[in-house]
Amino acid sequence: MTKVSASNMAKPCVWLIAGPTASGKSRLALALAERENADIVNADALQVYSDLSILTARPTESDLRRTPHHLYGVVDGTQAWSVGRWLGAAASRLAHIGALGRTAIVVGGTGLYLRALTEGLSEIPPVEPALRDEIELSLGRDGETEFRERLRRLDPAAEARIAAGDRQRLVRALSVVLATGRALSAWQADRGQPVLRTWRGLVLDPPREALYARGEARLQTMLEQGALEEVAELMAKGLRPSAPIMKALGVPEFAAHLRGETSLEEALALARQATRRYAKRQTTWFRNQTPDWPRLAAADPQAALECLMIRP
């Protein structure tokens, strides 16, 4: 990470704000953007989709009017965006913002997006959806312990670094090695050049119980704002269960309720549980993958500016 010193504080730069779901990233980014006349660039894999403005906590129309936002709600749910597609779009947006002489704030909880920006991206061939679906079914059928044993034989490095319960990355790792004949860890070792060379990063890391409480309260608010109707419209598209958007927090649980499989109370309880687990995985990822980034327990703009070494 290249630090911003007193001699170059006035030059446009890129700030990265990361953290788990419901940690206050978007609120902090908006406050800093207004204070520093900056643009905000989305680095959340699900906020790129136009279908789920409520369940992904996408910035509101009021927020969007307050400062320029980029890569929010730009993709239809029928498309499956990869890290590479996001990186290409983000690089274009960041170049445009820099050409205008403005600062960019990249904000989101998708750690792989941020790592691609700062460390480069591995060109991993795509996996056929049918194969991925089959592998995902095998995980549900065989259980995580047996699935991990299978992955460990083919890609021990990937298996060792995937956190317990992280079904998405387990399926991804086994899918890649079966589709390409080469371990995901080997593909990831071949990285291209990073998009960013000068940047400052910050991780929001609230106390766990406070984070969980915010996530649970937010789900209730989302229901009141129309989350069920949003999920019903998404279901009408008939997407594969393995489609990225169908795995957004709350979608599987509320879809099951809409199909008559669970009560709303049960669906909400399961969605809250999924949110807690996801927040825990994100927290663990950022602690392991960004150990040298400064951390804040609360989304305080003044403290954030000091961490980012930007004069208030």
What is residue 126's predicted lDDT score, i.e. its pLDDT? Answer: 83
What is residue 276's predicted lDDT score, i.e. its pLDDT? Answer: 96
What is residue 271's predicted lDDT score, i.e. its pLDDT? Answer: 97
Order the strands of the 69-70 sheet from edge to edge.
69-70, 38-42, 103-108, 14-18, 199-204, 295-296
Q: Report residue 202: phi and psi, to 5°.
A: -145, 135
Domain with CATH 1.10.20.140 in the chain: 129-189
The alpha carbon dihedral of 239, 241, 242, 246 has a sign of positive
Domain with CATH 1.10.287.890 in the chain: 209-281
What is residue 203's predicted lDDT score, i.e. its pLDDT? Answer: 97
What is residue 12's predicted lDDT score, i.e. its pLDDT? Answer: 62
What is residue 189's predicted lDDT score, i.e. its pLDDT? Answer: 82
Q: The pTM is what?
A: 0.82
- The domain at 129-189 falls in which architecture? Orthogonal Bundle (1.10)
Helices (H) and strands (E) in the chain, counts: 14, 6
- Separation CA 177–CA 156 (nearest Å): 11
Count of other CB atoms within 10 angstroms of residue 259: 9
Domain with CATH 3.40.50.300 in the chain: 6-123+192-206+286-307
Class of 6-123+192-206+286-307 in CATH = alpha beta
The fold of the 209-281 domain, in CATH, is Helix Hairpins (1.10.287)
What is residue 123's predicted lDDT score, i.e. its pLDDT? Answer: 79
Residue-by-residue pLDDT tens, the chain, 312 positions? 443 333 333 456 899 999 999 999 999 999 999 999 999 999 999 999 999 999 999 999 999 999 999 999 999 999 988 898 999 999 999 999 999 999 999 999 999 999 999 999 887 888 888 898 899 999 999 999 999 999 999 999 999 989 888 888 899 999 999 999 999 989 888 877 899 989 999 999 999 999 999 999 999 999 999 999 999 999 999 998 888 999 999 999 999 999 999 999 999 999 999 999 999 999 999 999 999 999 999 999 999 999 886 543
- Separation CA 56–CA 43 (nearest Å): 12
